[in-house]
């Protein structure tokens, strides 16, 4: 009566190296924590160096194992970022929808990736902290291009945002970057686009699923099939380790780990 014999054969498994880039305090680590452990920490400390985590995403025809490099956003670490996006098949470039300067920084990262990263890299532009906006945390808009603002999580940043000249903002709305502005830019640059809230979980899984679906078959490294202990989206079996950005040997060694 073997169930596995009838249609439950293991799906092909492929590893995908994914890097997160963006200004400090935009919520990169909180997005990863939400995706990997379905958790959120209100006062998350800034990433020092980089964190390495893994999570599996089950698609209809294959399993994608994301090998995630969550890089520090502080400017002093920026010159070391190429160590982490080298040979990456995907990148999340994150900005804070309540902070216009973070979108400017995100555009710089996109330009650098387009110039120096692997030619076929899949890039997703992600506006985080949707929960700080009036439409915050409403999971109704999940499609990559028509995304409503959701901002605000108290991740690695604890910055209070001033109210002010936000496009499309209404009283009490902390949004300073309009969905239209960011989505238009993403469309021009052929990027995936999402607005998310790591705090509420809105659209977080959708980002990674869209990336998994967008990776060209030709760039996938096929593995031996699902490993024991694999988890689906939002599962808890993940591997996490801290890497000092200044330690190139350690970083390289961990990059090759298929934990």
Cβ neighbours of residue 214 closer than 8 Å, sequence gap 6 or more: 90, 122, 192
What's the number of domains the chain is made of?
A: 1
Q: At what angle do helices 179-188 and 100-116 cross, to 10 degrees?
A: 10
Give the model's pLDDT for residue 24: 94
Percentage with pLDDT > 90 across the chain: 54
Has residue 162 been placed in a domain? yes
Has residue 197 been placed in a domain? yes
Domain that holds residue 159: 14-244
Has residue 5 been placed in a domain? no
Has residue 113 been placed in a domain? yes
Has residue 102 been placed in a domain? yes
Decide if 233 contacts 205 (C-beta within 8 A).
Answer: yes
pTM of the predicted model over 0.75? no
Has residue 80 been placed in a domain? yes
Has residue 251 been placed in a domain? no
Each residue's pLDDT tens digit, 47-80: 766 789 999 999 999 999 999 999 987 766 777 7
Give the model's pLDDT for residue 58: 93
In CATH, what number is assigned to the domain containing residue 22? 3.40.50.300
Has residue 207 been placed in a domain? yes
Between strands 221-222 and 13-22, the pairing is: antiparallel
Each residue's pLDDT tens digit, 138-170: 443 333 443 333 333 434 443 333 333 444 445
Give the model's pLDDT for residue 225: 36
Each residue's pLDDT tens digit, 170-190: 556 899 999 999 999 999 999
Q: If phi over 0 gives left and psi between -120 and 50 gives alpha, with beta otherwise, what is residue 131? A: alpha
Lowest pLDDT segment from 29-38, 158-167, 217-226: 158-167
Lowest pLDDT segment from 35-49, 89-103, 108-122: 35-49
Is the predicted pLDDT of residue 110 greater than 60, yes or no? yes
Is the predicted pLDDT of residue 137 greater than 60, yes or no? no
Give the model's pLDDT for residue 232: 33
Q: What letter would DSSP give residue 135?
A: T
Give the model's pLDDT for residue 43: 72
Give the model's pLDDT for residue 200: 96
Is the predicted pLDDT of residue 115 greater than 50, yes or no? yes
Each residue's pLDDT tens digit, 183-212: 999 999 999 999 999 999 999 999 999 999
What gap in Å lies between CA 258 and CA 151, rounded to an integer?
A: 33
Residue in this structure with the two tokens 């532009």, named with its chain if needed: 125
């Amino acid at each position: 009566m073997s169930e596995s014999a009838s249609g439950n054969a293991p799906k092909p498994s492929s590893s995908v190296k994914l890097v997160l880039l963006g200004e400090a305090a935009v919520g990169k680590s909180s997005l990863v924590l939400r995706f990997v452990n379905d958790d959120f920490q209100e006062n998350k400390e800034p990433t020092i160096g980089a964190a390495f985590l893994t999570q599996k995403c089950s698609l209809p025809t294959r399993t994608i194992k994301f090998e995630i490099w969550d890089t520090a956003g502080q400017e002093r670490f920026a010159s070391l970022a190429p160590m982490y996006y080298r040979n990456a098949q995907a990148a999340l470039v994150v900005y804070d929808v309540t902070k216009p300067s973070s979108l400017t920084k995100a555009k710089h990262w996109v330009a650098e990736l387009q110039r120096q990263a692997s030619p076929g890299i899949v890039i997703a532009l992600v506006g985080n902290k949707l929960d700080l906006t009036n439409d915050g945390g409403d999971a109704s808009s999940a499609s990559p291009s028509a995304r409503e603002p959701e901002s605000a999580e108290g991740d690695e940043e604890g910055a209070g945002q001033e109210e002010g000249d936000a496009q499309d903002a209404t009283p009490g709305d902390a949004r300073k970057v309009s969905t239209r502005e960011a989505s238009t830019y993403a469309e021009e640059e052929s990027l995936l686009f999402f607005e998310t809230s790591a705090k509420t979980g809105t659209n977080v899984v959708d980002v990674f699923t869209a990336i998994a679906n967008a990776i060209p078959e030709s760039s996938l490294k096929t593995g031996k099939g699902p490993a024991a202990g694999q988890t689906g989206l939002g599962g808890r079996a993940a591997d996490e380790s801290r890497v000092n950005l200044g330690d190139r040997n350690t970083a390289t060694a961990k990059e090759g780990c298929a934990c």
